[in-house]
């Protein structure tokens, strides 16, 4: 029964540590998720913006010359980037002139940005689009060509790129926290056993013997904490009771 009680104490402390570590880990993981998601998303959008600006600069001359073959060739060489879903080039009214879908543009993307009215200037715009037909989401980045007078370049950056990186990071941190939690619980239970459980079990046994009239065995606990102070107090009590009983017997 006594061993069960001491085991229960260690178990409870281990459970408290586990729960506390899990709560702490969840807070850290959530904070990490928010930070990594924001950082990677901003980086992905900036990458798409720079690419769209570069294509817009190249496309300006091709649009003026109506060289759509060369324009098609320009966007095709970028479409194999791992983070890019598509590249479109529209005229000022939103009509698609060339794309990396070979003309078969999903409807969600085709109307991803509302049509720009003639004379309205939109230098740069970002919109998150859910492409249901392809079960994906993209950050649609719209960059004006010559202030929108010649049209717009739209680059779709894969949101899954950010999601995959976040998943890898969270899994890695989760494994680290899991291993750390296991080591922390093991170390804590070991320390508790040495510093508390065994000394308390010994003191309980000695107190029981004293209550039964056995004053011969001294109380010795080799720990330098409150348990050690308690052991010294019980030892003084044992000696005092032993001396008192011996005096009574001598009378």
% of the chain exceeding 90 in pLDDT: 16
What is the structure's pLDDT at 2? 47
The 3-state secondary structure of the chain reads CHHHHHHHHHHHHHHHHHHHHHHHHHHHHHHHHHHHHHHHHHHHHHHHHHHHHHHHHHHHHHHHHCCHHHHHHHHHCCCCCCCEEEEEEECCCCCEEEECCCCCCCHHHHCCCCCCCCCCCCCEEEEEEEEHHHCEEEEEEEEEECCCCCEEEEEEEEHHHHHHHHHHHHHHHHHHHHHHHHHHHHHHHHHHHHHHHHHHHHHHHHHHHHHCCCCCCCCCCCCCCHHHHHHHHHHHHHHHHHHHHHHHHHC
Q: Taking a C-beta distance cutoff of 8 angstroms, is the pair 127, 140 a contact?
A: yes
Q: Taking the model in full, what pTM does it have?
A: 0.67
Candidate ranges 16-30, 44-58, 81-95, 168-182; pick with highest mean pLDDT = 44-58
What is the structure's pLDDT at 112? 63
Structural domains of the chain, with CATH: 29-159 (3.30.450.20), 165-250 (1.10.8.500)
What is the structure's pLDDT at 17? 77
Q: Give 145 or 6, the one with higher predicted confidence.
A: 145
pLDDT over 70 (residue 114): no
pLDDT over 60 (residue 98): yes
Confidence of residue 222 (pLDDT cuts 50, 70, 90): confident
Q: Taking a C-beta distance cutoff of 8 angstroms, is the pair 96, 105 a contact?
A: yes
pLDDT over 90 (residue 123): no
Query: pLDDT tens digits for 143-162?
Result: 988 887 888 999 999 999 99
Q: Give 84 or 219, the one with higher predicted confidence.
A: 84
pLDDT over 50 (residue 216): yes
Q: Which of 195, 201, 113, 186 is nearest to 155 (CA)?
A: 113
Query: pLDDT tens digits for 160-204?
Result: 999 999 999 889 988 888 888 888 778 877 777 766 777 777 788
pLDDT over 50 (residue 131): yes
pLDDT over 70 (residue 47): yes
What is the structure's pLDDT at 141? 92
Q: Which of 151, 159, 158, 160 is nearest to 55 (CA)?
A: 151
């Amino acid at each position: 029964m006594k061993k069960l009680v001491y085991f229960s104490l260690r178990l409870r402390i281990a459970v408290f540590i586990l729960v506390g570590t899990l709560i702490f880990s969840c807070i850290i993981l959530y904070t990490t998720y928010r930070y990594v998601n924001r950082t990677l998303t901003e980086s992905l959008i900036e990458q798409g913006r720079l690419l769209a600006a570069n294509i817009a600069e190249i496309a300006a001359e091709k649009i003026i010359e109506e060289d759509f073959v060369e324009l098609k060739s320009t966007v095709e060489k970028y479409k194999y980037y791992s983070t890019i879903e598509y590249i479109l080039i529209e005229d000022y009214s939103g009509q698609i002139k060339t794309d990396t879908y070979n003309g078969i543009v999903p409807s969600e993307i085709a109307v991803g940005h509302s049509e720009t009215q003639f004379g309205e200037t939109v230098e740069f715009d970002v919109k998150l689009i859910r492409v249901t037909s392809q079960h994906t989401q993209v950050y649609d980045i719209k960059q004006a060509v010559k202030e929108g007078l010649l049209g717009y370049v739209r680059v779709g950056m894969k949101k899954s790129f950010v999601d995959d990186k976040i998943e890898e990071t969270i899994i890695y941190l989760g494994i680290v926290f899991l291993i750390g939690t296991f080591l922390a619980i093991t170390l804590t239970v070991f320390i508790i056993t040495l510093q508390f459980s065994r000394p308390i079990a010994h003191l309980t046994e000695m107190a029981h013997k004293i209550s039964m009239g056995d004053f011969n065995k001294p109380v010795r606990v080799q720990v330098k904490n409150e348990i050690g102070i308690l052991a010294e107090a019980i030892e003084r009590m044992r000696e005092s009771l032993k001396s008192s009983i011996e005096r009574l017997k001598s009378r």
